[in-house]
Structure formats: structure tokens, C-alpha cells
Amino acid sequence: MTWEIHDEARQLIALGEGLSDERQAWLQAHLQECVACRDYEEAAGRVVRELRSQPLAADSRLVRTTQMRVRFHASRLRETRERMWLVGMACLGVGLSATLTAPLLWRLFAWMGERVGVASSIWQASFFFRCAARIRYSHRPRT
């Protein structure tokens, strides 16, 4: 047998429970014929049983600190979720307002273009620059 087979067997032993049926069957077959890996499995089992038999108790300060951090993290998650909801509502509001005001603004620019007597391409270009400036201003980071 090669070392790779023993290494694979020991990795499967380290994974413990939760192996697929195929892997479990391969490991059991290997353990039947390999004394070294069987000893390794028994030693690993002893260590796991020892660890499970030891009561783990955290002191009250550790518990308080952990609870405080978990609550702090939960509140930050909640705040982030609320902020994202507000951002979503603001985006919806901006989209609706742009949808409603763009036709009116288009008519206003057309009317002003006629009153001043400029070519339609000029007031149309002005309209698009105005819209682009508004979009650019709304995406500017706040300081």
C-alpha cells in the first residue's frame, strides 16, 4: 500500500461522521487490513471522547463580551438593512419623479426654444445636458 492511501484514510478519519456511504465502505475495508490506520482511528476516537467528556465553561465576562458583540453585530446588520431599504425607496422615488418630470421638462425646453427662436437641435441638446448634469449630481458622493 502507498502512503497516499494511508493519508486518505486518515483524512477520512479526521472528517469523522458525515462521510458518504461509498467513502465509509472504503474506509472500513481499509481499516480491516491496515493496523496502523486502525490504531490511528482508535487514538482519534479516544481524543474525541476525552474532549467531549470535558465540561467547557466560559466565565461570565467572556459570555457578556460575546453577547455584547453579537448584539452589536446584529444591530449593525439591522441598520444596514434599514439603510438599504431607504436607498431603494429613494431610488424608486427618483425614478418615478424623473419619469413624471421628464416629459414636462421636454415641453418646457421646447416652449423656451420656440420663444427664444433657437433651432430644435440646440434646445434638445440643452435638455440632454440638463438631464446628464442631474444624473451626475445625484451620483456624486456626499461629504
**Binding residues for Zn ion (CB under 5 A):** 6, 9, 34, 37
- Tell me which DSSP letter residue 140 carries: S
As measured in angstroms, the least distance from the Cβ of 26 to Zn ion is: 11
As measured in angstroms, the least distance from the Cβ of 30 to Zn ion is: 6
As measured in angstroms, the least distance from the Cβ of 42 to Zn ion is: 13
User: Is the Cβ–Cβ distance between 31 and 6 less than 8 Å?
Assistant: no
Based on CB atoms, which residue is closest to Zn ion, 36 or 100?
36
Based on CB atoms, which residue is closest to Zn ion, 6 or 134?
6
Based on CB atoms, which residue is closest to Zn ion, 34 or 131?
34
Based on CB atoms, which residue is closest to Zn ion, 9 or 109?
9
As measured in angstroms, the least distance from the Cβ of 23 to Zn ion is: 15
Collapsed DSSP state (helix, strand, coil) of residue 58: coil
Q: How many angstroms separate the CA atoms of 6 and 45, rounded? A: 17
As measured in angstroms, the least distance from the Cβ of 74 to Zn ion is: 47
Based on CB atoms, which residue is closest to Zn ion, 34 or 105?
34
Q: How many angstroms separate the CA atoms of 75 and 19, rounded? A: 38
Q: How many angstroms separate the CA atoms of 18 and 40, rounded? A: 19
Q: How many angstroms separate the CA atoms of 10 and 3, rounded? A: 10
**Where does the chain have alpha helices with state H?**
3-15, 21-33, 35-53, 60-116, 120-138
